[in-house]
Amino acid sequence: MLGVLGQNLLSGLLVGSLYGLAALGLSLVFGVLKILNVAHGELIMLGGYAGFWLFSSFGVDPFLALLLVIPMLFGVGWALHQGLFRQVVQFDQESRIKNSLLIGFGLTLLLHNLAILLWTADDRAVTTAYSTAAWTALGLRLPLVRLAGFGVSLAAVVVMEWFLERTTLGTAIRATAEDWRSASLTGINIQSTYLLTFALGSALAGVAGSLISVTFSVNPSIGLAWTLKALIVVVLAGLGSMRGTFVAGLLLGTAESLSAFVIGGQYRSLVGLVMFLIVLSVRPQGLFGGQER
């Protein structure tokens, strides 16, 4: 019994790292631009297909493929902001959210149907020679691919923390998130900062999607499910902390895994929604967010 419980906890942590990574880009974009991109899951889906395409067509290892997926999705985010969201960020905050929701829903439908046209509706997954490899420690099975995914997710958090805290561009992003008017008075180019932030958020979505193609599978319909997971994690964590977002993802993954062990797998997704509602009602700034002003 204890061995099964420990294996479930481990699986929850490994899956939760993907939840945290999937939410990083959404949290960054919402925190800085104050827009809610509900097509974030579709960017994750594109990252998954990019990783699958590089592996199936050119034999590129899925983890090495991240070196190509990141600039690819960075470019997609750059183009989407310039073409669709650039005008939205000029509105007041309430109008930003409403208009970004409308644009996001339209973009979701467009990317979903484009994916069906290009890759059909079949599930696609990256299967390598080490896909089934695992280590065993303390009676627990440690899948190599999921451990590597955990490592990549943790590395992404560390790199983003360093970038936001230690670089000039990161300081500009944090200042813009805090108060874009004051930031503009110090000479920060707000539009360029918004553009960089959206592109970075898309690149993070691409990393998550590429890892999902290795550990699970991708199809044109996964976008909605992963957008929902990312939204739940963002609400649990609150805005302002990459580290907090990652930890909230681990909490969600662990809670889902434990619920599947205790009450059955059919209620797995329900647990996340219950956590979402409780935190939103009791602590709307999130578990790791600061007090609202």
**Domain presence at residue 208:** yes
Percent of the chain with pLDDT over 70: 98
**HSE (side-chain half, CA atoms, 13 Å) at 290:** 5
**Looking at the predicted structure, is the pLDDT value of residue 291 above 50?**
no
Alpha-carbon gap, residue 52 to 68, rounded angstroms: 12
Residue-level pLDDT at 214: 95
DSSP string, 6-67: HHHHHHHHHHHHHHHHHHHHHHHHHHHH----TTHHHHHHHHHHHHHHHHHHH---TTTTHH
Predicted confidence (pLDDT) per residue in 78-91, tens digit: 999 999 999 999 89
**Domain presence at residue 164:** yes
**Domain presence at residue 291:** no
Beta-carbon contacts of 144 under 8 Å, excluding residues fewer than 6 positions away, are 130, 133, 134, 135
Average model confidence (pLDDT) across the chain: 93
**Per-residue tokens: 99:** 């208009």
Domain that holds residue 58: 2-282
Q: What is the pTM of this model?
A: 0.95
Strands 134-137 vs 140-143: parallel, antiparallel or unpaired: antiparallel
Alpha-carbon gap, residue 199 to 201, rounded angstroms: 5
Predicted confidence (pLDDT) per residue in 183-206, tens digit: 999 999 999 999 999 999 999 999
- The domain spanning residue 60 has which CATH number? 1.10.3470
**Domain presence at residue 81:** yes
**Domain presence at residue 73:** yes
Residue-level pLDDT at 2: 60
**Domain presence at residue 293:** no
In the chain, the number of structural domains is 1
Q: How far is CA 19 from CA 46, 93, 246, in A?
A: 17, 27, 8
**Domain presence at residue 160:** yes
**Per-residue tokens: 83:** 């073409």
**Domain presence at residue 15:** yes
Which value, to the nearest 10 degrees, does the dihedral of the CA atoms of residues 44, 50, 51, 52 take?
Answer: 110
Predicted confidence (pLDDT) per residue in 6-18, tens digit: 898 999 999 999 9
Q: Of 188, 192, 190, which is closest to residue 200 (Cα–Cα)?
A: 192
**HSE (side-chain half, CA atoms, 13 Å) at 54:** 21
Beta bridge partners of 137: 140
Residue-level pLDDT at 293: 35
